[in-house]
């Protein structure tokens, strides 16, 4: 790298990575009065957005939009208010109202990234966040007074100073490599295909239907404007056998049409090509390394079948910001804030990791799965708790104990 110019821009907070977690972090710290900049290696325009995302926002993340000045995205013109219905080997899992009876508005959102990403950038600019795109952070160096960031972009090399650096640069995080925060990986035995369609009737109440079919999960997400997102998480061998774009599309629609619980595909008209992946292991990193917090996919990038990417991105940014409420960025306060974030992360997000990683494996214990889901679907209380956990509104520990007791009770009858 060439020698940086003498341009030294003073920042309070430097956020490395311009996606959901990065901009949510930037907005929240700017609201607290800090001078904030977001660095994004890719050049963007007003329509730039992440395409490889199924954008089902679990209810844990929906209220956090309000804190970012994005409450309008919850309106029908921008997204579809929805709730999961699970069609399982043991019966239907659903419930009245929202995910939590005590929270009538606890719903999920089908909020597309083509809507969310530009809205986050606009909200950040309105809040006074400096967005420096087309610029990669090459190195970060710590001293007693903060951090030096050497960057390289179209304008050439530049140097910035910041009191706090936040790593929000995704699952392939360069910051993690720079600071030696390796990812713990967990296998994912399913591949994914998804695409957008018109001509598919939305389920009653705009419910999002999740059909467990053998070892697969087929998902139907209603969207604004009469469109539908179809998502299939399937054993890799199944999808790998669908060769070529036309044959893959034909097989994909035939798969959904063969599911009695899914809407008819007779009138389905593709509005996009099929997107997806064949190998997407879960990755988990330390949420804090030294004096650098990691948020979003840089901290944990889990199996997309769990639908937690957008929600955990917003949640981790929110947990970090709340940990610094009423604190300065002086070294003592900085350490205290990062300690609090580490604990909040461990209490709020980490408990979901084990279950999500376990669900990424193709289970061979079909009799046990059937019994488990029969127990859940046969109990309104367990069904409610299952929906709350899959919506990431409660911790799994209590539910697992209740489920085990209920299964043991059934087996002794």
Domains of the chain, start order = 8-50+114-185+284-354 (3.50.50.60), 67-112+187-277 (3.30.9.100), 363-411 (no CATH)
Quote the pLDDT of residue 412: 65
pLDDT digits (tens, 9 = 90+) for 198-226: 999 999 999 999 999 989 999 999 999 99
pLDDT digits (tens, 9 = 90+) for 42-85: 999 989 999 999 999 999 999 999 999 999 999 999 999 999 99
Quote the pLDDT of residue 1: 33
**Residue 9: pLDDT over 80:** yes
**Residue 8: pLDDT over 80:** no
What is the C-alpha separation between 135 and 280, in angstroms, rounded?
27
Query: What phi, psi does 272 have (nearest 5°)?
Result: -160, 165
**Residue 367: pLDDT over 50:** yes
Quote the pLDDT of residue 7: 42
Q: What is the mean pLDDT of residues 87-96?
A: 93
Quote the pLDDT of residue 48: 96
Quote the pLDDT of residue 6: 37
- For residues 271-293, one letter each, b for 16 or more C-beta atoms within 10 angstroms of the residue's C-beta and e for the rest, the string is eeebebeeebbbbbbbbbbebbb
Instruction: Give the contacts of 250 (CB within 8 A, at least 6 positions apart).
Output: none
**Residue 320: pLDDT over 90:** yes
Please give the structure tokens belonging to residue 186: 């967990």
Please give the structure tokens belonging to residue 97: 């109202």
**Residue 14: pLDDT over 80:** yes
Quote the pLDDT of residue 4: 42
In which band, very low, low, confident or very high, does the pLDDT at 413 lie, cut at 50, 70 and 90? low
**Residue 277: pLDDT over 50:** yes
Instruction: Give the contacts of 136 (CB within 8 A, at least 6 positions apart).
Output: 39, 41, 151, 152, 153, 174
Share of the chain above pLDDT 90, in %: 86
Please give the structure tokens belonging to residue 12: 């309070």
Q: What is the mean pLDDT of residues 275-285?
A: 96
Quote the pLDDT of residue 159: 96
In which band, very low, low, confident or very high, does the pLDDT at 363 lie, cut at 50, 70 and 90? confident
Quote the pLDDT of residue 398: 87
Q: ∠ CA(278), CA(279), CA(285), 5° rounding? A: 150
Chain centroid to CA 367 = 31
Instruction: Give the contacts of 343 (CB within 8 A, at least 6 positions apart).
Output: none
Mean pLDDT of all residues belonging to the chain: 94
For the chain, what is the HEC assignment?
Answer: CCCCCCCEEEEEEEEECCCHHHHHHHHHHHHCCCCEEEEECCCCCCCCCCCCCCCEECCCCCCHHHHCCCHHHHCCCCCEEECEEEEECCEEECCCCCCECCECCCCEEECCHHHHHHHHHHHHHHHCCEEEECEEEEEEEEECCEEEEEEEECCEEEEEEEEEEEECCCCCCHHHHHHCCCCEEECCCEEEEEEEEECCCCCHHHCEEEEEECCEEEEEEECHHHEEEEEEEEEHHHHHCCCCHHHHHHHHHHHHHCCCCCCCCCCCEECCCCEEECCCCEEECCCEECCEEECHHHCEECCHHHCCHHHHHHHHHHHHHHHCCCCCCCHHHHHHHHHHHHHHHHHHCHHHHHHHHHHCCCCCCHHHHHHHHHHHHCCHHHHHHHHHHHCCCCCHHHHHHHHHHHHHHHHCC
Quote the pLDDT of residue 2: 36
pTM of the model: 0.94
Quote the pLDDT of residue 96: 82
Mean pLDDT check: name the lowest of 91-105, 220-234, 350-364: 91-105
């Amino acid at each position: 790298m060439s020698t940086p110019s003498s341009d030294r821009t003073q920042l309070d907070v430097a956020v490395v990575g311009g996606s959901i977690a990065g901009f949510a972090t930037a907005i929240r710290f700017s609201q607290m009065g800090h001078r904030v900049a977001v660095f994004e290696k890719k050049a963007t325009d007003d329509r730039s957005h992440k395409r490889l995302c199924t954008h089902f926002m679990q209810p844990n993340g929906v209220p956090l939009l309000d804190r970012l000045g994005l409450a309008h995205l919850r309106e029908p013109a921008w997204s579809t208010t929805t709730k999961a219905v699970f069609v399982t080997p043991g019966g239907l899992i659903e419930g009245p109202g929202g995910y939590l009876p005590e929270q009538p508005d606890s719903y999920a959102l089908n909020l597309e990234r083509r809507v969310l990403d530009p809205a986050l950038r606009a909200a950040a600019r309105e809040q006074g966040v400096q967005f420096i795109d087309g610029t990669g952070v090459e190195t970060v160096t710590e001293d007693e007074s903060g951090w030096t960031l050497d960057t390289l972009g179209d304008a050439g090399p530049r140097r910035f100073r910041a009191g706090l650096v936040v790593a929000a640069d995704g699952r392939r995080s360069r910051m993690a490599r720079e600071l030696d925060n390796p990812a713990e990986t967990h296998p994912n035995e399913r591949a994914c295909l998804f695409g957008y369609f018109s001509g598919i009737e939305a389920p009653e109440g705009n419910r999002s239907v999740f059909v467990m079919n053998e070892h697969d999960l087929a998902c139907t997400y209603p969207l604004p404007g009469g469109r539908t997102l179809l998502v299939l998480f399937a054993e890799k061998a199944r999808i790998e056998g669908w060769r070529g774009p036309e044959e893959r599309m034909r097989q994909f629609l035939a798969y959904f049409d063969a599911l009695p619980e899914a809407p008819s595909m007779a009138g389905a008209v593709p509005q996009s090509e099929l997107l997806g992946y064949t190998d997407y292991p879960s990755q988990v990193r330390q949420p804090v390394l030294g004096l650098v917090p990691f948020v979003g996919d840089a901290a944990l990038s889990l199996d997309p079948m769990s639908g937690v990417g957008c929600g955990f991105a917003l949640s981790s940014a929110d947990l970090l910001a709340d940990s610094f409420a009423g604190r300065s960025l002086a070294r003592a306060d900085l350490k205290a804030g990062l300690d609090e974030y580490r604990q909040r992360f461990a209490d709020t997000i980490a408990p979901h990791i084990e279950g999500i990683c376990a669900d990424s494996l193709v289970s061979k214990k079909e009799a046990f799965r059937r019994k488990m889901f029969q127990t859940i679907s046969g109990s309104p209380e367990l069904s409610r708790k299952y929906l709350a956990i899959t919506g990431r509104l409660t911790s799994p520990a209590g539910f697992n104990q209740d489920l085990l007791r209920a299964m043991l009770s059934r087996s002794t009858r």
